[in-house]
């Protein structure tokens, strides 16, 4: 092959797109894949455009996105008094929901948290509040994670242009 650099860029693009998809679907480690794709593209360029400062900034944004996603779900659940069963239920509901498309992704965490809280012995009204709170926390965490992924893309693109 005459130009392996092109192959690296293509693979980097695939990693970034897979990472953006993984920012929504919990099956893929979205943000780390985005970062890995950017790191590969920077390496393929010989770090001519994307240097140490930019890579550190991208790494910090990656870690921040992971933390925000994790903390948002917990805060949403804890704010309404969720039990550990509700948290596990929300996680299981999210994973099962993947197989049911968009409705599953939207309803899975809520139904899982509701079922988990009911299995902990809570009343239906409390379990419903826990389901909504957990769902909102996960939603805001996912939105923040997507926003940080696009911020990473902007920083990366800006580094290539400058």
pLDDT, one tens digit per residue, over 52-82 is 999 999 999 999 998 998 788 778 888 888 8
Predicted confidence at residue 69, as pLDDT, reads 82
DSSP 120: T
126 CB-side CA count, 13 A: 13
| 3-state DSSP assignment of residue 83 | coil
Q: Measure the CA–CA gap between 142 and 69, rounded to whole angstroms.
A: 6
Give me the mean pLDDT over the 137-150 stretch.
91
| 3-state DSSP assignment of residue 27 | coil
Number of domains in the chain: 1
Residues 116-126 pLDDT 10s: 999 999 999 99
Q: Measure the CA–CA gap between 47 and 39, rounded to whole angstroms.
A: 9
Convert 8-45 to b/e letters by CB count within 10 Å (16 or more is b).
ebeebeebbebbbebbbebeeebbbbbbbbbbbbbebb
Question: Which residue, chain included where needed, has tokens 């695939």?
Answer: 14
Give me the mean pLDDT over the 37-62 stretch.
96
Q: What is the pTM of this model?
A: 0.82
Show Cβ contacts of residue 76 under 8 Å, excluding neighbours closer than 6 positions: 133, 134, 135, 136, 137, 138, 140, 141
Domain extent for 154: 4-161
């Amino acid at each position: 092959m005459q130009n392996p650099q092109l192959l690296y860029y293509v693979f980097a693009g695939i990693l970034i797109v897979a990472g953006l998809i993984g920012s929504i679907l919990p099956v893929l480690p979205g943000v780390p894949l985005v970062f890995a794709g950017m790191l590969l593209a920077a390496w393929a360029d010989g770090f001519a455009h994307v240097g140490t400062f930019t890579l550190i900034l991208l790494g910090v944004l990656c870690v921040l996105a992971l933390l925000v996603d994790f903390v948002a779900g917990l805060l949403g659940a804890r704010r309404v008094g969720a039990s550990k069963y509700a948290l596990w239920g929300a996680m299981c509901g999210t994973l099962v929901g993947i197989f049911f498309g968009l409705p599953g992704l939207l309803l899975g965490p809520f139904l899982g948290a509701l079922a988990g809280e009911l299995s902990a012995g809570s009343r239906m009204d409390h379990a419903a509040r826990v389901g909504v709170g957990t769902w909102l926390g996960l939603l805001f965490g996912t939105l923040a994670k997507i926003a940080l992924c696009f911020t990473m893309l902007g920083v990366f693109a800006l580094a290539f242009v400058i």
